[in-house]
Structure 1
Amino acid sequence: MKEKPLVEVRFHGRGGQGAWTASLLLAQAGLKESKYIQSFPAFGPERAGAPITAFTRISREPIRIHSSIYEPDLIIVLDQTLLGPQVLEGVKDDSKLLINTNLKPSEIKDKLQKSLEVWVVNATELALKILGRPITNTAMLGAIVKASEIVSMESIHQVIKERFTGRLRDQNLELVDIAYRTVTKDD
């Protein structure tokens, strides 16, 4: 993603998957790079498993927008069952989609009938292998860095080291790095 003054990221996940935490960690990584940030969720009293949305803005200049993100530069989907018209709402010609799936980018793109760049990573499989749980948020952060370069991997590593300790810190650092290496995009 070429450097834009303001990058808007919209996360779609289910309660308990860590979409809101991923949004927050991405924003904190932007802050490490002296950028202006916003991060906030949109959910009500839903139970675990209910769809949630989270938003992140990262900018080189002060952010004067205080609303949900309606035309995202990057759409992050933590659960492929959520992929549908609502998730793709507001897609622009240069928007990117990053989805946690075991499908190939071309398979996702064929289903969408939209002209946007599609990136895929099997974050669930990676998280199960490394964490022993299907918590995909940190894997998605590694994939976000590769797909967009809106923050550096060094900044992501810093926020993970601050957020987690001990074995969990080491596992999440490994998860981020493997997701960065294994995320793929359509041709």
Structure 2
Amino acid sequence: MQEIRFHGRGGQGTVMASVMLAKAFFTAGYYVQTFPVFGVERRGAPVEAYLRLAHSKILIRSNVYTPDHVVVQDIKLLSNVDVTKGLKKGGWILLNAQKFEDIPELKDYKVAIVDAGAIAQAHKLGTRTQPIINTAMIGAFARIMENPSADVLKDAIFQELPVKQQENYEAAMTAYESVRFRL
């Protein structure tokens, strides 16, 4: 079983990112479980969402305490949230960031970045000040995991999003191609 924790802010599509990935992995043949955890439910407040995936039934029903991987949709969260809490050594941390110099050294983990904000703006998703970055982040995550496939990801995006489906899929594929790695 693999467990993924998503960190973001209200309005960034953090919960929807976990749902779209769950649907994509389900279509790819996995058992999945996804759920959010909210503190104060307001735009800009920190949000967490969890995703479990496995090749057999998932019987556990608790929060994710020791994730295999972490997705961080807002780099500013690094200053006030311990995104590595419980993260297994050697796990991936995917960050929405422009350059590695913006990120503190995260020893014991593999780090990848993608400029999801710029990708979302290029595809006219959200606004300049509040880009909707969730599809870019799941595209980058699919690249890191080498799963799910682009076709399966496209189906999940088109099923879950009522508007700008093609733009969101293109953002996911742009992020897939532009994610950068620091091992």
Q: What's the TM-score once normalised by structure 2's chain length?
A: 0.91
- Residue by residue over 1:54-96, the C-alpha shift from the partner in whole angstroms, topping out at 9 and shown as x without a partner, is 0000110111111111111110000000125521101222211
C-alpha distance in structure 1 between counterparts of 2:151 and 2:8, whole Å: 25
C-alpha distance in structure 2 between counterparts of 1:175 and 1:125, whole Å: 10
1:1-187 alignment to 2 at 5 Å?
6-84=1-79, 86-104=82-100, 108=103, 111-133=104-126, 134-164=131-161, 168-187=164-183
Q: Tell me the amino acid that sits aligned with residue 161 of structure 2.
A: F
C-alpha distance in structure 2 between counterparts of 1:146 and 1:113, whole Å: 20
CA contact (8 A) 2:136 2:171 kept: yes
Which range moves more in the overlay, 123-132 or 146-155?
Answer: 146-155
Task: Tell me: CA distance 1:186–1:45, structure 2 relative to 1, closer, same or farther (3 Å).
Answer: closer
Structure 2 unpaired stretches of 5+: none
Task: Tell me: CA distance 1:18–1:132, structure 2 relative to 1, closer, same or farther (3 Å).
Answer: closer
- Residue by residue over 1:79-138, the C-alpha shift from the partner in whole angstroms, topping out at 9 and shown as x without a partner, is 00012552110122221100001122x653xx1342210000000011011124200000
Q: Tell me the amino acid that sits aligned with residue 122 of structure 2.
A: K
Q: Tell me the amino acid that sits aligned with residue 51 of structure 1.
A: P
Q: Tell me the amino acid that sits aligned with residue 49 of structure 1.
A: G
SS in 1 for 2:121: helix
Q: CA deviation at 1:150?
A: 3.9
Q: Tell me the amino acid that sits aligned with residue 173 of structure 2.
A: D
SS in 2 for 1:112: coil
CA contact (8 A) 1:7 1:150 kept: no
Q: What value does the CA root-mean-square deviation take over the aligned residues?
A: 1.6
Q: CA deviation at 1:37?
A: 0.6
Aligned residues: 178
Structure 1 unpaired stretches of 5+: 1-5
Which 4+ residue blocks in structure 1 deviate beyond 3 angstroms? none
Q: Give aligned-pair identity as a percent.
A: 37
- Residue by residue over 1:25-54, the C-alpha shift from the partner in whole angstroms, topping out at 9 and shown as x without a partner, is 100111112211100000044211000100
